[in-house]
A = this chain, B = another copy of it.
Amino acid sequence: MAASFGVCRLRFRSLGGFDRFYLGLETQTQRRLTSTISAIKAQAGNNTVTKAKENKTFQAIQEERREQAERSVLISCPPKFNENKFLDYLSKHGTINKHFFYSSYGTYAVVEFSSEESISSLKESTHLPAVEHEAAVPFKSRLLSLKWPGNQMNNQPMPTFQEQSPPSIGDISQLLSEKDSIDEQLQCLTEALQLTEKNINLRFLVCSLLGDIAGAYFPECIIRPFGSTVNGFGKLGCDVDMILDLDGIYATSQKKGSGLSLEYQVKRGASERAVTQSILSVIGKCVDQFGPGCVGVQNILQARCPLVRFSHQPSGFQCDLTANNRVAMKSSELLFIYGQLDPRVRHLVFSVRYWARVHSITSSIPGAWITNFSLTVLVVFFLQQRSPPILPTLDRLTELAGPSDKCVIEGNDCTIVSDLSKITLQKNTDTSAKLLQEFFEFYGNFPFNKASINIRKGKEQSKPETTALYIQNPFETTLNVSKNVNATQLERFVKLCQESAWLFQKSEILNRSSSQSAETVSPWGFSALLLPSVTSGAGVKSRRKRKLEPASSRIKTLLDSLKIKGGETVAKKGSADPSR
């Protein structure tokens, strides 16, 4: 097994200029190939993201990050430069709080100043591109390029780069093999996949840069990340979901008194939806025409929830901007809270999601599949069912809420406690490994045909409709989160749960063989659950896929495996290579 990953790495290397040309990932790729494992280990050891923030509310954490991002700039750097000189140069504009470098389509620096005035000062000394200026859109954003005179470039020590992409499945398997228990494996997986503090900084910075574009017309508006960027379950490489929050505009504009007053003349739309579409369409156009580094802009305005989709090249993020999506933000907060209450929650969610993606239970393409959000709710529900329960019900979180937590969105009570210290948990000492095994057993035998999942009450209820899978939307309680899932997809999930539960009972899976060296160890524990299924539809799918593969497919597969959004590729590799 380890040997086959070694071959795989050699193949990557043999691509030579290919990846450099197509993906611009040279430094990243080369570095990953030689030192990925140690980097992941360092990153996992550096996992202070969640702990450090534990005593703050969700809103306070988001606000702090947003405010940091407003004091930050994103700078494209030349291939070679001196870090100290770079910092000296920038320090002329004020104290630098924090900075880091990463590599994606080139080398970039994120620099956070301690004061927003430094940004103004920096921008004043920044010039527009000189030669071609008349054929350039002179939009002055916080995305800058460092120009380094040629004669100063040579023999510079390079700074450390922070990884922004997920580890490959090969790296993951290698890491897991070295662990001594399944518990350690699940913890290691979580730490290797989760968003780093710096990656979250970068996500907030991209939102802030987009906020500058949207804020041009709506100064009080805020672009807020939601979903996996903030809910504690985000994986490196996942999309950045953003909300255009216009509430601040209306908040400051309440009419008072009964005398003379002035009102803004505004354009009217036929409906709130029409106005949202109008605003998003303009922002989409601006991003497309002016937004530096923003490519592939799509206005998807006829969707149920209208959105603008684009790729932010300097960060490598795929971004989805919606508006008026306050329930989605509240759902992110709910998941965040559940993830904070017990470390086993995140271990389970990361493991189940990774397992599901490898087995093509989930997909990055919309369809009849189970979504990551549904999987997470399934984990939460399962943990509410333990004896004693590991997680409280949503109703309990509402009961514990203080007056300032009160929140009603479009008639739905979305109140949940924000002060986590108010939540008292019962003592349950089950290991993550035991819980994962029980998760598979639980859903391998769940009566999906008649029962629905309800985390608000923390118990199964009779299904109000005949859809295959019914998971009550936590806040919009008349909606089914998994309405899209069809019987086939549900059946695949159940079969895989049963298979994994069965594997968990085999001793050669449960324990690492002590006679094997780290280099030659066979997949065991969680790694064994990632091997191609023999019973589920995934195998069928992979056979069909192989038949259709064109001659050039080997190179394409390799290129795919280099893509930043690693999750999808991992899934394809996992199911397409049953010989492993």
Give chain A interface residues in 503-540, CB to chain B under 8 Å: none
Q: Does A158 contact B (CB under 8 A)?
A: no
Q: Is A100 an interface residue (CB 8 A)?
A: no
Stretch in contact with the other chain, from A9-17, A130-138, A179-187, A473-481? A130-138
Q: How far is the CB of A325 from chain B (nearest CB, A)?
A: 14
Least CB distance from A84 to B in Å reads: 12
Within the assembled complex, what's the spacing in Å between the Cα atoms of A105 and B173? 73
Do A137 and B266 have beta carbons less than 8 Å apart?
Answer: yes
Interface bin, chain A = 35 or more
- Complex interface: chain B residues within 8 A of A292 (CB): 264-267
Interface digits, A99-134 against B, CB 8 Å rule (1 contact, 0 not)?
Answer: 000000000000000000000001011111110111
- Alpha-carbon separation in the docked complex, A132 to B141 (Å): 34
Cβ-defined contact, B85 with A260, below 8 A: yes
Q: Give chain B nearest CB distance to A544 CB in angstroms.
A: 42
A216 interface hit (Cβ, 8 Å): yes
How many copies of the polypeptide does the oligomer hold?
A: 2
Q: What is the distance, in angstroms, from A101's C-beta to the closest C-beta of chain B?
A: 16
Chain B residues near A218: list those with CB within 8 A: 138-139
Contact residues in B for A289 (Cβ distance below 8 Å) = 267, 278-279, 281-282
User: A123 — nearest CB in chain B belongs to which residue?
Assistant: B264
Least CB distance, A148 to chain B, in whole angstroms: 6
Given contacts A127-B254, A282-B290, A286-B282, contact A266 B138 (CB under 8 A): yes
Of the listed stretches A245-253, A355-363, A424-432, A486-494, name the one at the interface; the rest are far from the partner chain. A245-253
Measured between beta carbons, the chain B residues less than 8 angstroms from A264 are: 126-129, 138-141, 143-145, 292
Checking B144, B216, B275 against A136 with a beta-carbon cut-off of 8 angstroms, the contacting residue is B275
Residues in A lying within 8 Å of B, measured CB to CB: 75-76, 85-86, 89, 122, 124-130, 132-141, 143-149, 213, 216-219, 246, 249-250, 252-255, 258-272, 274-275, 278-279, 281-282, 285-286, 289-293, 314
5 A-B residue pairs with Cβ-Cβ distance under 8 Å, sorted by A, are: A126-B264, A265-B293, A267-B291, A278-B289, A278-B290
Q: Can you name 14 extra interface pairs (CB under 8 A) apart from A127-B254, A141-B264?
A: A86-B260, A89-B260, A127-B253, A127-B262, A128-B249, A128-B263, A135-B271, A135-B274, A137-B278, A141-B265, A145-B263, A147-B261, A148-B260, A267-B290
